[in-house]
Amino acid sequence: MDRDKFFMERALRLAEKGVGSTSPNPMVGAVLVKDGEIIGEGFHKKAGEPHAEVLALKQAGERARGAELFVTLEPCSHYGRTPPCVQAIIKAGVTGVVAAMEDPNPLVSGRGIKMLEEAGIQVRVGVMEERARKLNEVFIKYITTKKPFVVGKIAQSLDGKIALSSGISRWITGEPARIRAHELRSRYDAVMVGIGTVLADDPLLTCRLPGREKDPVKIVVDSTLKIPVNARLFQDSGKVIIAATQKADRQKMRVLKELGADIIETESNGGDMVNLPQLFEILGTMGITGVLVEGGSRLLASLSKEELLDKLIIFVAPRLIGAEGLSSVGNLFVDELKKTPRFTIGSLEQIGEDIMLEAYKG
């Protein structure tokens, strides 16, 4: 088992190289081993390009016959943009496959394993499965529900404040935490904010990291279209989506469309509020697999009340702001502790002087 973990660890590290670039596909890494030696390896780089298993087989060439393949996800058995990996594995003469987990995709889900076993290949599944599932948590949610994985990101003080009473928030966290925040943007298809954040901060919502090929889609929840036409998020060629209600001003809507924005109109959900469950269903049909929500506090509260948050990432700075500061999450209107939304702590990491906490719904 230690041997399995050693090679699967390598496969997982390879898979991580595809972070932020494989959507809507999963991140996958593969390592081909023969006589204890790695003879081929690869990772999926981008949707439409060769899968990890095919790259590992190509690198190994004829040496692949009689080898064992370690792969982070069950090999695919269906035709998509590329041919099935299972056929390539069988043709290459591989005698054993170790997969971290079954593919949750209903088009695969055990079929690849069955085809390999019918071809006489020994298959083992479940090595380092928990880590493999975390790696592809976005893909798993999207492929099984057709809805995006939703992550709420907060940067706050020790006492849960995101800004002074004046609204000043730059900078609560240190530079290392802010760099990590941009890394997070690179991991998801879209970054979302409420109109209050746009009016207060006028953010760019871009991913300012060297080597980043594209920015995430920018989504603004703005029920009545208060967004200024000169907002900075319109200043580049990145895709902008504005979520409004069917009651929004039609003339302003036409102006925003002329600026290049896509407008999603939802039914009103309580007064003039955007219907958030409907919004995320629509985003799923657009192929958006993961959304990073960066505020504000009212939007995060609404998402929590609607049980739409899958995960929270909270950067905590070692400072106090006090009761007069702005809270990280708006009013949840809860009158009993047992009714408060609960999360499970996933991890803690120190980043510079700050702490990054991950927590999962439930």
Q: Is 201 annotated as a binding residue?
A: yes
Q: Please tell me whether 155 is known to bind a ligand.
A: yes
297 labelled binding-site residue: yes
Is 181 one of the annotated binding-site residues?
A: no
Helix%, strand%, coil% for the chain, nearest 5: 30, 25, 45
CA dist., res. 4 & res. 11, Å (int): 11
What is the C-alpha separation between 258 and 248, in angstroms, rounded? 16
Question: By three-state DSSP, how is residue 137 classified?
Answer: helix
User: According to the annotation, is 116 in a ligand binding site?
Assistant: no
Compute φ and ψ for 26, nearest 5 degrees. Answer: -80, 165
Q: Catalytic: 53? A: yes
Q: Is 171 marked as binding a ligand?
A: yes
23 marked as part of a ligand binding site: no
208 is in an annotated binding site: yes
- For residue 347, say whether it is annotated as part of any ligand binding site: no
DSSP string, 94-160: --EEEESS----TTTTTHHHHHHHHTT-EEEE-TTHHHHHHHTHHHHHHHHHSS-EEEEEEEE-TTS
Please report where in the chains the tokens 């069988």 appear, as a residue.
Answer: 90
Q: Is 294 marked within a binding site?
A: yes
Name the nearest CA neighbour of 229 among 264, 191, 193, 261.
261
Report the alpha-carbon distance of residue 359 to residue 5 in Å, rounded: 26
Judge whether 301 is annotated as a binding position.
yes
Token representation of residue 244: 């409004």
Alpha-carbon distance 208 to 203, whole Å? 12
Q: Is 37 among the annotated ligand-binding positions?
A: no
Q: Is 300 annotated as a binding residue?
A: yes
85 labeled binding residue: yes
Q: Which residue in the list 41, 53, 68, 74 is annotated as catalytic?
A: 53
d(CA 229, CA 244): 15
Binding positions are 51, 76, 85, 155, 169, 171, 185, 197, 201, 205, 208, 223, 294, 296-302
Binding positions for substrate are 185, 205, 208, 294
Instruction: State the catalytic residues.
Output: 53
Binding positions for Zn(2+) are 51, 76, 85
Binding positions for NADP(+) are 155, 169, 171, 197, 201, 223, 296-302
